[in-house]
Chain A
């Protein structure tokens, strides 16, 4: 399986994505620099975390003007699997490939810690994970608060891929905290949305980092499920 990892100048989880896809999953993963105009013969694309072009204007905003962007959009619009992680999720919303926006965390600080998310909607990155499965994944972001208007939210409910929850999968209701006293919804996201799909279920964005939790040695291998789901899905359609 050929997986492209888009490399913006300020990407910093590009290695993490490459490592998880190549060294852990065993896929043929490679970088595509932002100045390229083609994705090669990629069967799936990861838009990794980081600070794309510095993110001084707004996270992911400048990525819309990137030379690689038209190829990325074409790939997504033709149904190619695209996973946007953290800054990648922000970029996908900026490109209009996913609805809504990610704004500054409710407490206005960068937040890095493990959280729990519940797997909900089916799609190319969750097809192999039983619905309701709880994953333990790290977050590391300053702008992860998912926002959208009421009308958009109404169309989203069956496309929410991941929702913040407690260790048993109970939803992160307003004000709920974990056993350490930390909010289950770490950034104030609307409806505790941690990740979602586009209508075609081929484009997925999420704020937590599955690629940083794909090996037991890192404290959790739960994130590997997204990569194995992708592999199984591509295997079926190939």
Chain B
């Protein structure tokens, strides 16, 4: 072990520098004590990013341990670049979701674009070809002055990246709420396909093996991005611009194809993308997983900017870069593939047995400057791997249950209100930004590339894609996957346990409605400042809700990410534990759309009867101008039975449509099925103690509206009874109007026009 010398020109490290490095005073002291000396500036930067919330999960690790992550279908659980579930015949679906909230608020196009780029890399790093992407977006109130620019920028960025690299963006969800005025959410999901025994991992195995840098050259962009993403915003976010990275989807396309070719050669030991905290986190995490050390020679790092310091090279978050560990003697195979795809590649280090992270660089040497010269390389960092990884700080932060009289927890008036003109209320709801069509958004995403989109946006409750499973020497198998992403932060705000459980349930229900068997979950836990005890309490309760629902519905969590400090000037976002569920269809022909297709079809309600509880609903929020209760609860046993029933109905090919009751309640659910199929419907709303308005707009979970041809009625009823799921005929498809009891009569054309124009006030006309 060498004591590294300060690199010429670097600032002197003192405890006063800690905040700039993203470290608390106590954390800085802890680092000094562990090292037994003052770290160099380079080392302090490395410690700062590795101990950031983003990289270390220091506030969340103790809670994440409670999530269910195992099951017979799990091929790879959390801890790798992405998780994987078995989809049969030796193939697996590899998927993950990640946040890019802070960068997207600062620079919406690049922030969102690089979020997509990052999640794609996480998936293809595992050896999987990406098959489809989803996204979950949150913006402030529709009439906030920043909302149009942020929405347009984020959507253009997601499209700009995904469209170019050629991975279809097949679905997603968007919600507008004032809590996101100063802190939008951009959560990106990708799923890919790989052979289950052919996955690649982020491990630096094999002492002496070469470490190879592949992809874009390193610049100064994104330095300390991980630290930025681990702090809350003040008013001057513009000054954080240099921490945002810039994406190049064409470069990533080259990287994708090149990596897939390299995987096929069998010359790799391990691989990890350089995401947050770039070269530092990729090399440290790979060494940590393998129980090895790693040595980097920074002089060899490809760069596009002159006079980069070791600190800058180690902390840069320049995009589209990969770190590979090749089998000794086979590095040429990597270099050859890179030459074919015109990618930069360089051997930058080797795996050691020291369990230390050692970096060398030559002061004064700059490969971009032929005049530059320097003496021999010196050690600029020498740190124990464990200190940076497993022994990073871990906090069980204090929790306090929010006071019951906090405004958001207040109950609505006990008597459920009745809308004056229910038809007009339904039209307004269907045309509002949180319920209406998202077509202005998804028309900007290529959702059909790769010839696999069986259900794209707004066609079914989940997106359904066909994937081509290829293994050498065998005929290609076609399989179909269903994908859904969801979370309603209002219900989580009112009751974090049930709200989070409802997010999992809705996602899995969407997958079941489309005809698939849910297999696994990925999550993106977006919360405020964990140092605020009320936020931490909600976080912990939400984890318990996720855990309960994932266990009950047998959709273990296989990957995910935590994004804390989502607040501006002390105003936190709604707690938003976004989840995405992946399912597999036994046969692509089992798929079920959401549209009412045929006049004369019977419409029926499956699942729990509604009590008309409006708490947290879109309708009540619009009426009250704030989120108000009482909170909803979910019966996970009933939910499980309903989802099993839906899967059985899909397999029996007896349904024309299935659409779950969620945001906007039964009213919005029926309207959406009418609009999608261009069919009217005559429906008797199930009786109940609450007003008709409440029964139409309540968002209680575990409910689905299905349609089927009348001669299938007995079969549908029999399947429902066999699963113990309440079944009630509501009415009939047909005509040009949606008719509800004697109270509502609106034309489908009017519903469609309102629905289509839901975002016009934000983005302008088509």
Contact = CB atoms under 8 A, between A and B. Distances in A.
B395 interface: no
B163 to A, nearest CB: 6
Contact of A212 (B159, B445, B448): B448
Interface stretch (B177-185, B450-458, B601-609): B450-458
Contacts of B756: 180-181
A111 B449 contact: no
B451 A212 contact: yes
Contacts of A20: 451
B164 A209 contact: no
Contact of A110 (B159, B448, B753): B159
B627 interface: no
B517 interface: no
A176 interface: no
A217 to B, nearest CB: 6
A183 B766 CA distance: 9
Interface in B328-359: 340-342
Query: Per DSSP, are chain A's interface residues mostly helix, strand or loop, or mixed?
Result: loop
A16 B164 contact: no
Nearest to B340: A35
A9 B250 CA distance: 8
Contacts of B468: 19
Interface string B424-456: 000000000000000000111111111101100
Instruction: Name, among B164, B248, B466, B756, the residue most crowded by chain A CB atoms within 10 Å (CB to CB).
Output: B164
Interface string B713-757: 000000000000000000000000000000000000000110010
A132 B299 CA distance: 65
A110 B752 CA distance: 23
Interface residues of A, number: 37
B454 A140 contact: no
A56 B257 CA distance: 20
Interface stretch (A47-55, A65-73, A229-237): A47-55
Contact of A218 (B342, B454, B476): B454
Given A112-B447, A140-B449, A217-B466, A9 B341 contact: yes
Contacts of A51: 164, 166, 249-250, 253
A13 interface: yes
Contacts of B388: none
B250 A54 contact: yes
B588 interface: yes
Contacts of A110: 156, 159-160, 163, 443-446
B641 interface: no
A93 interface: no
Interface string B465-476: 010100000001
A186 to B, nearest CB: 9
B466 A112 contact: no
B276 interface: no
A140 B678 CA distance: 25
Given A182-B766, A218-B454, A12 B447 contact: no
B199 to A, nearest CB: 22
Given A110-B163, A212-B449, A12 B253 contact: yes
A197 to B, nearest CB: 25
Contacts of B160: 110
Interface string B239-272: 0000000001111011001000000000000000
Instruction: Name, among A15, A23, A217, the residue most crowded by chain B CB atoms within 10 Å (CB to CB).
Output: A217
B87 interface: no
B681 interface: no
A40 interface: no
Nearest to B163: A110
B165 interface: yes
A213 B159 CA distance: 21
Given A112-B443, A182-B766, A217-B588, A13 B166 contact: yes
Contact of B451 (A112, A183, A211): A211
A138 interface: yes
A111 B164 contact: no
Contacts of A10: 164, 250, 253-254
B766 A109 contact: no
Contacts of A142: 163
A53 B250 contact: yes
A19 B451 contact: yes
A138 to B, nearest CB: 5
Interface in A197-215: 209, 211-212, 215
A153 B451 CA distance: 34
A12 B454 contact: no
Instruction: Name, among A9, A16, A113, the residue most crowded by chain B CB atoms within 10 Å (CB to CB).
Output: A9
Contacts of A111: 443-444
Contact of B450 (A15, A107, A180, A217): A15
A55 B163 CA distance: 12
A218 B453 contact: yes
Given A12-B164, A111-B443, A217-B454, 18 more contacts: A13-B449, A15-B450, A51-B250, A53-B250, A54-B251, A55-B250, A110-B156, A110-B446, A112-B163, A112-B444, A138-B448, A140-B163, A140-B446, A179-B678, A180-B756, A181-B756, A181-B766, A212-B451
24 contacts: A10-B253, A12-B449, A13-B166, A16-B451, A23-B476, A51-B164, A51-B166, A54-B249, A54-B251, A55-B250, A56-B250, A109-B443, A110-B444, A112-B163, A112-B444, A112-B445, A112-B446, A112-B448, A140-B163, A140-B447, A181-B766, A212-B449, A212-B451, A218-B448
Interface of B: 156, 159-160, 163-166, 248-251, 253-254, 257, 340-342, 442-451, 453-454, 466, 468, 476, 588, 678, 752-753, 756, 766
